[in-house]
Chains A and B, each alone.
Chain A
């Protein structure tokens, strides 16, 4: 019976799958120019995260005070000799600080998404598929998390755990992942639940059920891939959000602490100078925007590539 079901199921929705799926997807992805642009941007971002501090022209914490004094106690503007992106008010090279900060921002962005997906997708899927009591219980739990005062939670974390191994792990960044992840997964959970709720009444699911495909298999193999669009969007939106949220946390003493900076904290610090020295906000904001473009295009491309129905349509 099981074998029959699998065979039938395969015919039903996706005639050729398994082995061919990923290579097909990659083939389609390669033909999508925007997706490739996105991929390039993401790779650039990752390289900045990995090698940034090595290629940086200056040490991120070195202060070129004499240059500042010579400039009338003002930050150096972009394209100053030796400082391509200019400096901050202490004469620290902005490009070098951004390259150093890339590592923090990139790590936060990725790990937080993993935490969010790791918690949000299973909970949303379970709630949506089984419905009833389980759905109620899980969704009420989600309600509580939603309504939860996250900043308070984070201030508490910052104080309570700063001195522990937990607080010191990864330069204090581990706390950031936990803090952002724990309060952020609910959006994804609700989204996934909504998608599953909508899809589980569709004909192909009924068909799959009729032929006895297991629940788990229907959810994992059919519902999630079909409902993946909003999830991909959530992730691509979540990455810049996480980068900026990390700045918030740095600000109240969780995670990255001065003199190190992340892109988000550079924006937060630079905001005060937006009138006189807008480059301090502009460059980090553009960096985040580029990262966002990269993930968006790559995400869209991936979605198209993974969608079997679009096959041959490019």
Chain B
């Protein structure tokens, strides 16, 4: 019995890493510049007929068992990395993350920019059935339908009539099937014929076309998805370059080329193997043993790998649409009980002091192996609205102390130690411990401020953070689609779904509302900039680092198209372009 406890240790690390730390990123992309900009591995020579290996088998990791391969319901990176090979939608993106035709060969946008008419190409599923507009209609409605309870249903909010249905999801009492059906029939979606699919939007949302590259907006045959074990190997009906050949749960999943694949680039790979393991250290070992051709380098191994004469040249670093940040509890959300007893982080000078006491580059060097870019604001590089020069509170210990003195005066304390121990929450097992220790120690040395570092199980941590139980807490965000709206709305608006900082500023909310309704692109960006400036000037959060992921890629892997929306593997959006060279 004693032994049972004994092993749990590592396993907790493993689960938390599997379901926690990752900011569930799945950023499809826009016209972007930086992310995707990568420090390339020594690029493999271009493939020609003669230097291709006889065995075109690629071994990669999915970092764990995909919770589901139902495209409408998938949300985890383990699922998405596989789905990228199995399904495609109306539009896709190219290597520069520009929107390009997919199953729609062309589209017309109405003058008011609210109606998009897609013209579909001739294409078949892996089972030989034609892909028709009705399948998109079915899939989109299924995604929005509250009875599906799809995690990503909210990305449909711009479709005319969708907000009503999204609101029905949590309605009490639950709406009747008839009510739901009526609302579904009223949606701004139609398929006048097999080759035409029309989407009516409720606003001139310029970014909606980009959102359509998401894996949730793919065609789905009703008779397939409603059949038993639809997502198991042998049953999966694929609209992408590969088919699901086998799926040994928790071990290995194999894709093979889709004979009916309609795209221009036909896969050279004959087999694509996904290892379904959620232990990064073992993946790293498997890469070194030659069992994996690509892997993500675990943070503690980055320095060792870079210094290694063999592994070093195989490193590929990709900047992604992701940010690591820490939230101060602003104690402004009126819905929370903790509002009654605000801690010192409710004081703006206190937050500024804490922000200015942190040397972010030193933190990145010590705890991220020096990988990644310092973040001073929230909207990520590559997304319209990124403000590289917005940095009102740079690292400056003298200024930090001045602000702390102001905060002490305002709060009637003589020293920062008088605040008692601030509750500093984080989730264990996802590698956050060094960051938390770094920050806590920096604040202790600068002000004598005491913190109680509270590591918790992932779910407990999320529950406590949402409830405003911490003064300081770990946080992270990955873009769903590269638009400022996805970065600010809901994260910092009054009791927004992800407002972990308990920030609530009516001026900020007004700007976000105004921006969303602004049809002119430039004016819209300016409004988002205004909102973000407000947020950052309030020192509502402590932005730390824009995410960069370190991968290793075997030198014989060629044709990799790596972008800022890579998550588990580099080039995962374009499995079909990868080739194996002779080695």
Contacts and interface: CB of A to CB of B under 8 A. Distances in A.
B5 A248 contact: yes
Interface of B is mostly: helix
A245 B5 contact: yes
A248 B6 contact: yes
Interface stretch (A47-55, A129-137, A183-191, A220-228): A183-191
B2 A241 contact: yes
Interface in B352-377: 362, 365-367, 369-370
A91 B444 CA distance: 16
Given A251-B455, A253-B457, A241 B3 contact: yes
Interface residues of B, number: 45
A68 B359 CA distance: 15
B428 A186 contact: no
Nearest to B436: A258
Given A72-B307, A276-B303, A248 B284 contact: no
Interface string A241-262: 1101101111111000111000
Given A69-B362, A74-B303, A183-B5, A251 B440 contact: no
B281 A272 contact: yes
Given A251-B13, A258-B455, A273-B300, A241 B438 contact: no
B433 A258 contact: yes
B259 interface: no
Contacts of B303: 72-74, 276
B469 to A, nearest CB: 10
A258 B12 contact: no
Contacts of A242: 2
Contacts of B370: 73
B366 A252 contact: no
A155 interface: yes
A158 interface: yes
A107 interface: no
A80 B192 CA distance: 75
Interface string B28-71: 00000000000000000000000000000000000000000000
Contacts of A209: none
A264 interface: yes
Residue from B2, B9, B370, B438 whose CB has the most chain A CB atoms within 10 Å: B2
A186 B284 CA distance: 39
A200 to B, nearest CB: 25
B452 interface: yes
B281 to A, nearest CB: 7
A257 B2 contact: no
Given A251-B13, A258-B437, A272-B431, A69 B366 contact: yes
A244 B9 contact: yes
A271 B10 contact: yes
B5 A251 contact: no
B6 A269 contact: no
* Pairs A-B, 10 closest by C-beta atoms: A276-B304, A245-B5, A248-B9, A241-B2, A272-B300, A253-B456, A184-B2, A273-B300, A248-B8, A258-B453
Given A63-B441, A155-B460, A274-B281, 4 more contacts: A238-B2, A241-B2, A251-B455, A253-B460
Interface of A: 61-63, 65, 68-69, 72-74, 89-92, 146, 150-151, 154-155, 158-159, 162, 180, 183-184, 186-187, 237-238, 241-242, 244-245, 247-253, 257-259, 264, 268-269, 271-277
30 contacts: A61-B441, A65-B366, A74-B304, A89-B434, A90-B366, A90-B434, A92-B437, A146-B1, A150-B5, A151-B8, A151-B12, A162-B454, A183-B4, A183-B5, A184-B5, A186-B1, A238-B2, A241-B2, A244-B5, A245-B5, A248-B7, A248-B8, A248-B9, A252-B12, A253-B454, A257-B454, A259-B441, A268-B13, A269-B433, A277-B304
